[in-house]
Amino acid sequence: MDAELLGKRIAVLDKGWIELIDMLPHPNAGVSADLAIVNAARVSFMGESKGPEKDKKLLFYLLRNHHTTPFEMVEFKFRVRAPLVTWWQWVRHRTWSFNAQSGRYTAFEENDFYVPDVWRKQAASNKQASDGQVDTETNAELTRQLESLYQQSYDLYSRALEAGISRELARVFLPGFSVYYTWVAKIDAHNLMHFLRLRMAPDAQHEIRVYAETIYEHFFKPALPWTAEAFSEYILKSEQPPQ
């Protein structure tokens, strides 16, 4: 793995980002993450490499036949800034370990609110999904109204703090689903693939799908090129509808 991945930060949505802050194996450990998976599978043989061709063939065999425990030997730790509308779905994946920013300890900033660039319409055939978007004029008006609401809410929040109200109580003035929070989130490669399979799907909500796509393209694929290739071949392509 390229050591430059550690500390790399990628912008997501209007004010969000995701950053890789640690990984197992560490880039300086002298073994690639893909090889760490292969070595774990060969534990009975002291985990020795048999050369790139045979190592990659074994890794593909593992994923193709659902021998997934070796993939748990690789872990990613991210620092993520995302609105609560994203976290509300992310925490459903309980194989992640989380530690979240708390509004009890730090005050929110005036710009800590999510403003969607496009207002999507409700899907007619799916109660939990969107489909299409409103016209340009309506989009602009809804954005203006939302920004006005944020300003009013933040003004009330600021006044409460100035009046000596505790941070934990003053935050009730803030719109809940749109506030940005920063979390530290950790997961192993096996469970990350499950998360990516679900959250990169076309029917996943946009506000979490863009984070999953960012993890896949900017961190998972560069760190685990063999695994990403097998994941695409045996999992992602197998779930695509026939043309």
- Please, are residues 174 and 153 in contact by the beta-carbon 8 Å criterion? yes
Closest C-alpha among 72, 71, 76, 101 to residue 6: 76
- Catalytic annotation, pick one of 79, 104, 120, 199: 199
- Angle (CA) 119-122-124 rounded to 5° is 150
- Angle (CA) 60-71-26 rounded to 5° is 115
Does the active-site annotation cover 9?
A: no
Q: 189: which residues sit within 8 A by CB, 6+ positions away?
A: 33, 37, 71, 72, 73, 74, 75, 76, 220, 224, 227
Residue with tokens 């790139």: 52
Q: Distance between CA 149 and CA 26 in Å, rounded? A: 45
Q: Distance between CA 100 and CA 109 in Å, rounded? A: 16
Q: Distance between CA 59 and CA 234 in Å, rounded? A: 12
Q: Distance between CA 188 and CA 36 in Å, rounded? A: 12
Active site (catalytic) residues: 199
